[in-house]
């Protein structure tokens, strides 16, 4: 029997429902990781550094899909919980149309202004052409990337997380195969990596679109709709935390790269790139879990079933803490082999990367609690608190840390910044969870 949003969830049922979104997000994170692996080993560390420098800007534009997906699915989930499926489907269709429209506009603007943006981010004369080439090719597929981000959350809300997993696995396998063919086989370098990413993102965006365009047995369907400003604004506001996470993460990456260029040059940017690739995969587990739990929370909140909301919250906090300990231990153990895989051709760079892994690994102890806490309030349609948590964790605390700590600790201060930021953020997350327990009866 399939698991439904209206069910009562024990640990087993909860993990089964969240398994597909978790694997889905891990495969999504593979895009940049695979690009980085092939470019680093077959094109060299300058093109590798160029990808790491321009990729945060690309993620800012793609973050609109996360915003509409998270905010829109919370609204749709709550509406389903209230028993109005017709309105839920209208809202769902409107989010899809809005994503396509925003994707086209942002892609054109990004392509036009990419060179001055790359220079503003600190691209050297040796790196700027690679930044522009990679960025323009990937941005040509940005609308598909945004749709993929949107459907990742809505397929879970539609009680079809396994289809989201299938689409993402297909996209991830496509990316890996084409990277091997274009970069290692045809030796197309950074252009090949960008093309592989763009094609794979198209696979991830088109497959769910085809599913929803055709007759299907999910609880969501694309249907005739019209622009409704209020719910669209509500979805954008509620999903602002996810957009803020994307923007702040990208802005912080730019600041990290600036500090690293100053302290360690291209090697520092390359080491940070490897670190972020592994972090993408580890944090994707937390993010995938929140994609799975968010529609459950929204549904029961809309149905005024506070007991189940409390049940999901308590179990999730325990799981986030336990998984965080396991991730920290795993990251510490894998530091040396992972550094060797990506930059084993350069002994000094490999040692720098290994040390960065060892320091940064402690962030996983509390990162999951922060990520779930932000998602929890988004699911409750409280976008303000969710955005505050994301803004403080992803931007304020990290920016302050990466600006202040290197004054005293030099390069180690850069690696420690993410740990300090998450420790500060978990205090804020805990305070909000305690402050709002009576309002939401959890």
Is residue 196 within 8 A of residue 42, CB to CB? The reply is: no
- pTM of the prediction? 0.77
Tell me which of 293 and 224 has the higher pLDDT: 293
252 within 8 A of 394, measured Cβ to Cβ: yes
pLDDT of 247 > 80? The answer is no
**pLDDT tens-digit series, residues 189-214:** 999 999 999 999 999 999 999 999 98
Higher pLDDT among residues 397 and 395, named by residue: 397
**pLDDT the model gives residue 172:** 86
Q: How many helices (H) and strands (E) does the chain have?
A: 17, 0
Question: What's the pLDDT score for residue 345?
Answer: 83
Q: Between the CA of residue 374 and those of 84, 222, 243, what are the distances in Å?
A: 26, 28, 12
Burial of 346 (0-12, 13-18, 19+ CB in 10 A): middle
Q: Determine the average pLDDT of the residues in 102-123.
A: 93
CB 67 within 8 A of CB 242: yes
Please give the structure tokens belonging to residue 251. 């802005």
pLDDT one-digit tens code per residue, 29-48: 776 677 778 888 898 888 98
Asked if 221 contacts 181 with a C-beta cutoff of 8 angstroms, the reply is no
Alpha-carbon gap, residue 182 to 177, rounded angstroms: 9
Separation of alpha carbons 223 and 209, rounded Å:
13
Q: Which residue has the tokens 């892994």?
A: 357
Q: What is the pLDDT of residue 31?
A: 64
Nearest to 80 by CA among 159, 165, 161: 159
> Is residue 251's pLDDT more than 90?
no
pLDDT over 90 (residue 188): yes
Tokens of 412: 């180690």
Cα–Cα distance measured from residue 402 to residue 411, given in angstroms and rounded to the nearest whole number: 10
Task: Specify the DSSP element, H or E, that contains 414.
Answer: helix 411-435
Q: Select from 382, 43, 41, 423 the least CA-distant residue to 240.
A: 382
C-beta neighbour count of 318 within 10 angstroms: 11
279-to-171, 283, 418 alpha-carbon distances in Å = 20, 6, 11
The mean pLDDT of the chain is 91
In the chain, the largest separation of any two C-alpha atoms, in whole Å, equals 61
- Contact in structure between 289 and 316 (CB atoms under 8 Å): yes
Q: What is the DSSP letter of 160?
A: -
Task: Confirm if 412 and 280 have CB atoms less than 8 A apart.
Answer: no
Report how far residue 191's alpha carbon sits from residue 131's, in angstroms, rounded to the nearest whole number: 10
Q: What is the mean pLDDT of residues 400-427?
A: 96
Whole-angstrom Cα distance, residue 275 to residue 259? 15
- Distance (Å, rounded) from C-alpha 88 to C-alpha 96? 13
How much of the chain exceeds pLDDT 70, in percent? 98
Q: How far apart are CA 412 and CA 417, in angstroms?
A: 9
* Residue 1 pLDDT exceeds 60: no
The sign of the CA dihedral 259, 260, 261, 265 is positive
CB 207 within 8 A of CB 49: no
Task: Say how far apart CA 145 and CA 135 lie, in whole Å.
Answer: 13
pLDDT at residue 32, as a whole number: 62
């Amino acid at each position: 029997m399939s698991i439904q949003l209206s069910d009562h969830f024990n640990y087993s049922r909860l993990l089964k429902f969240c398994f597909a979104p978790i694997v889905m997000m891990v495969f999504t994170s593979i895009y940049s990781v695979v690009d980085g692996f092939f470019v680093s080993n077959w094109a060299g560390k300058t093109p590798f550094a160029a990808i790491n420098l321009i990729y945060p800007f690309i993620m800012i534009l793609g973050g609109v899909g996360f915003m509409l997906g998270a905010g829109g699915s919370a609204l749709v989930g709550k509406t389903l919980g209230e028993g109005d499926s017709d309105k839920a489907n209208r809202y769902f269709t409107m989010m899809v149309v809005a994503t396509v429209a925003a994707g086209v506009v942002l892609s054109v603007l990004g392509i036009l202004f990419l060179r001055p943006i790359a220079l503003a981010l600190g691209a050297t004369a040796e790196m700027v052409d690679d930044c522009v080439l990679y960025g323009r090719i990937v941005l040509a597929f940005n609308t598909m990337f945004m749709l993929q981000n949107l459907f990742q959350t809505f397929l879970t809300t539609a009680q079809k997380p396994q289809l989201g997993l299938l689409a993402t696995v297909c996209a991830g396998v496509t990316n890996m195969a084409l990277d091997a063919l274009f970069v290692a086989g045809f030796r197309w370098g950074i252009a090949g990596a960008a093309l592989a990413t763009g094609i794979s993102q198209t696979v991830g965006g088109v497959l769910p679109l085809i599913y929803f365009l055709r007759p299907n047995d999910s609880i969501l369907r694309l249907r005739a709709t019209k622009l409704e400003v209020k719910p669209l604004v509500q979805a954008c506001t509620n999903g602002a935390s996810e957009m803020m996470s994307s923007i702040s993460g990208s802005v912080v990456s730019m600041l990290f790269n600036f500090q690293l260029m100053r302290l360690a040059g291209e090697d520092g940017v390359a080491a940070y790139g490897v670190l972020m690739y592994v972090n993408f995969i580890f944090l994707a587990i937390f993010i995938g879990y929140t994609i799975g739990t968010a529609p459950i929370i929204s549904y029961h909140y809309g149905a005024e079933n506070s007991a189940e909301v409390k049940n999901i919250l308590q179990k999730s906090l325990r799981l986030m803490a336990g998984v965080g300990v396991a991730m920290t231990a795993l990251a510490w153990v894998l530091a040396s082999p992972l550094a060797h895989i990506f930059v084993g051709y350069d002994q000094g760079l490999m040692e720098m990367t290994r040390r960065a892994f060892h320091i940064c690994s402690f962030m996983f102890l509390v990162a999951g609690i922060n990520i779930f806490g932000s998602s929890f309030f988004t699911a409750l349609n409280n976008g303000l608190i969710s955005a505050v948590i994301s803004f403080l964790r992803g931007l304020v605390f990290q920016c302050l840390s990466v600006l202040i700590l290197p004054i005293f600790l030099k390069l180690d201060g850069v690696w420690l910044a993410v740990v300090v930021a998450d420790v500060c953020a978990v205090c804020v997350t805990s305070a909000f969870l305690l402050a709002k327990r009576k309002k939401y009866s959890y």
